[in-house]
Structure 1
Amino acid sequence: MILFTLLALFFAAIVLTRRLRAPLALAAVALFWLLAAGWLSAPLLDWAQWGTQSVAPPTFAARTVIVMLGGGTDYNDAHKLVPKDDALIRIATSADIYSACKRTGASCDVVISGGNPQRHEASEADNYLPYLLQKQVPRADIVLENRSHTTYENARNVAALLQDKRYDALILVTSAYQMPRALLDFHRFGLTPHPVVSNTRRASLGVLPRYDNLVNADLALHELIGIAQFHVYRLLGWF
Structure 2
Amino acid sequence: MTLFAWSAVLAVLAAGSWWVAGSGVWDVPLAGNASRTAPAFGARNAIVLLSAGLDHWKPDAPFGPTTDGMSRIRQAAADYAACRAQARVCKVIISGGDPEGHGIADAELYAGEIAALGVREDDVIREARSNTTYENAKFVEPLLQGGHYDAVVLVTSAYHMRRAKIAFDRLGFDVIPDAAPADRAEFSLVPRRQNFRLAWRALHELGGIVQLYLYDWTSIH
TM-score, length-normalised on structure 1? Answer: 0.81
How far, CA to CA, are the matches of 1:155 and 1:131 in structure 2? 22
- Asked if the contact 2:71–2:182 (Cα under 8 Å) also holds between the matched residues in 1, the reply is no
- Unaligned 5+ segments in structure 2 are none
From the superposition, tell whether residues 155 and 37 of structure 1 become closer, same or farther in structure 2 (CA, over 3 Å).
same
Matched AA of 2:119: V
- Unaligned 5+ segments in structure 1 are 1-16
Q: Deviations over 1:68-105 (max 9, x none)?
A: 11112111223431111111111001101101111111
From the superposition, tell whether residues 20 and 82 of structure 1 become closer, same or farther in structure 2 (CA, over 3 Å).
farther
Q: How far off is 1:229 after superposition?
A: 2.1
> What is the number of residues matched between the two proteins?
218
Q: How far off is 1:201 after superposition?
A: 3.7
Matched AA of 1:161: L
Q: Out of 30, 33, 36, which is 2:22 matched to?
A: 36
How far, CA to CA, are the matches of 1:151 and 1:38 in structure 2? 25
Q: Out of 96, 99, 107, which is 2:78 matched to?
A: 96
Q: How far off is 1:20 after superposition?
A: 7.5
How far, CA to CA, are the matches of 2:14 and 2:102 in structure 1? 33
Q: Out of 61, 66, 75, which is 2:42 matched to?
A: 61
Q: How far off is 1:150 after superposition?
A: 0.8
- Asked if the contact 1:179–1:197 (Cα under 8 Å) also holds between the matched residues in 2, the reply is yes
Q: Deviations over 1:140-188 (max 9, x none)?
A: 1111111101111000111022222232211111111111111111112
From the superposition, tell whether residues 29 and 157 of structure 1 become closer, same or farther in structure 2 (CA, over 3 Å).
same
**Which residue pairs with 1:7 in the alignment?**
none
More divergent stretch after superposition (207-216 vs 122-131): 207-216
Secondary structure in structure 2 of the residue aligned to 1:59: coil
How far, CA to CA, are the matches of 1:37 and 1:99 in structure 2? 39
TM-score, length-normalised on structure 2? Answer: 0.87
- Asked if the contact 1:55–1:195 (Cα under 8 Å) also holds between the matched residues in 2, the reply is no
Q: How far off is 1:203 after superposition?
A: 1.0
Q: Tell me, yes or no, if structure 1 residue 70 matches structure 2 residue 59.
A: no
Secondary structure in structure 1 of the residue aligned to 2:104: coil
